[in-house]
Every structure is written in C-alpha cells, then in structure tokens.
Amino acid sequence: MIAVLGPYAGFILLSYGAAALATFGLTVWIVLDHRRLSNTLAALEARGVTRRSARAAARLAPETPLETQA
C-alpha cells in the first residue's frame, strides 16, 4: 500500500493523520462544550431564568402554558 503512494508516502500519511486528529479534537471539543452549555442552561432554568423566545411566545399566546409548547 505504501509503495503505491510513491516517495511522498510519509508526508501523505502524516497529513491524513493530522487531519484525522484535528477532526477528532474538534468533535470532542464540540461535545464537551454542548454538555457544559446544556448544564448551564438547565441551572439557569432551575433558578427561574427564562429564555427571551419563551417570554415572547408567552406574550403572543398567554392562554397557552409554556410547558406544552415544543
């Protein structure tokens, strides 16, 4: 397999490895950031802080409880 890549096989494989490592690192970063932000949002909602979009929806349709909206 490496012979098929020619004299630049090392550079090609190193480039693929670097791209795979960068992709993996970014994926892990995004997953961890999502968890952190979800926990932060849950804590804020537990303290009673609401989202602006939820307040706007409540003003537009005050007869509809916020818990039943998707």
pLDDT digits (tens, 9 = 90+) for 6-60: 888 999 999 999 999 999 999 999 999 999 999 999 999 899 887 777 666 667 6
Question: How many H-runs (helices) and E-runs (strands) does the chain carry?
Answer: 3, 0
Banded pLDDT at 69 (limits 50, 70, 90): low
Tally the residues of the chain: 70
3-state helix, strand, coil in the chain (%, to 5): 80, 0, 20
3-state secondary structure of 63: coil
Q: Please work out, in degrees rounded to the nearest 5, the angle formed at the alpha carbon of residue 41 by the alpha carbons of 23 and 39.
A: 60
User: Residue 52: which residues within 8 A CB-CB, separation 6 or more?
Assistant: none
